[in-house]
Amino acid sequence: MLRTALLAALCLLAWAPPAPAQQRVVAYITGWTTPPEIAAAKLTHINFAFGKIDATGQVVLPHAGIPSQLAHLRSLKQKNPQLKILLSVGGWEAEGFSDAALSAESRAKFARSVVALLREHSLDGVDLDWEYPGQSVAGIKSRPEDKQNFTALLREMRAQLGDRYLLTIASADREYFDFTEMDRVHVYLDWINVMSYDFFNSLTPTTGHHAGLYASEFAAPRDRNADASVRQHLAAGIPAEKIVLGVAFYGRGFAGVAPLHHGLNQAYERFEAAHPYSELVEKFINRDGFVREWDVKAQAPFLWNAQKRAFITYDDPQSIAIKAQYVREHHLGGMMFWELSQDSSGALLDAIVQGR
């Protein structure tokens, strides 16, 4: 045990994050919606979602078709040799993190299983999407000790990954910082994918911009937005170049919305659905009574259907171009999005690439 601990400490002392890639373009691609055509030259990194944690605390690929999907993604390096492929582990309702992070032995076992998968499938790194340490909002197991154990897990991961593999996480804001040690964990990470979307969803009491850059004029004081999330990360001492701003390639719809302010920041009767951007273009934007509105203060679009009292919040090329400018002006590390198949025309990806 002592020899293992000494080796881990030496690895950490020897490791230093590589010079940050300027303006990363990080695409999440899922195993259930992998597009047949991927514009590899427009991406710097692909996070393949998701690896899962099994009952023994090891990371596994959840179905037999994933190796061929990973091989397809690796083949994109023929078009873009600089492209990096990472395995993203976890996701919404993904169980197993709290147990895996619980002890030195479980953390080492988890990390070994990750390294084995990266070697077996010739991948470039791993992205951990624990939603969320210390919280059971998705019905997953959590413990108060998750706060310190998450730090210890990332320390162990870095020790075993060394400088050969990338290590990133998906982060949130507000209470996420209450249950993590973000001022400490970033030293083990190459960068952090900030999930600056889903600010308004089926669990929030009103409508609002689910991916707004700034607060709406009608927002409540505690409502969330991307700028506030970035500022919270910076306040924790996270270097700007390690912060990758997340944008949404989908919208969220609400029904039975109170009509004031075209439905913005209003009470609603029910959450209607999530809609890929491609579907919004085909069926909703300035169609069938849905009128595109623009919130100058929030720098975000939304759709309002007065007759149906329906409201849809989303990102579009205009809002994403403004976010790309924000990333440049604040010297952030790039942009991430969920997820590629939801933008079949490539309009949103182009807005990111053209704004780099």
* Residues labelled catalytic: 131
Residue with tokens 């390690």: 242
Exposure string of 185-221, with b = 16+ CB inside 10 Å and e = fewer, is bbbbbbbbbbbbbbbbeeebebbbbbbbbbbbebbee
Contact 247, 209 (CB under 8 A): no
- Taking the CA atoms of residue 184, residue 185, residue 190 and residue 192 in that order, the dihedral angle to the nearest 10 degrees is -110
Strands (E) located in the chain: 24-30, 45-53, 59-60, 84-91, 125-130, 166-171, 191-194, 243-248, 250-255, 270-276, 291-295, 300-305, 310-313, 334-338
Residues 6+ apart with CB under 8 A from 9: 159
48, two tokens? 């393949």
Going from the C-alpha of 40 to that of each of 37, 83, 226, the distances in angstroms are 9, 7, 27
CA gap 147, 18 in Å, rounded = 27
Instruction: With CA atoms as reference, report the closest residue to 109 among 158, 70, 153.
Output: 153
Concatenate the DSSP letters of all residues of 79-99 into one string.
Answer: T-TT-EEEEEEEETT---HHH
CA gap 103, 90 in Å, rounded = 19
Residues 6+ apart with CB under 8 A from 290: 284, 303, 304, 305, 310, 312
CA gap 336, 43 in Å, rounded = 10
Kind of pairing between the strands at 59-60 and 45-53: antiparallel
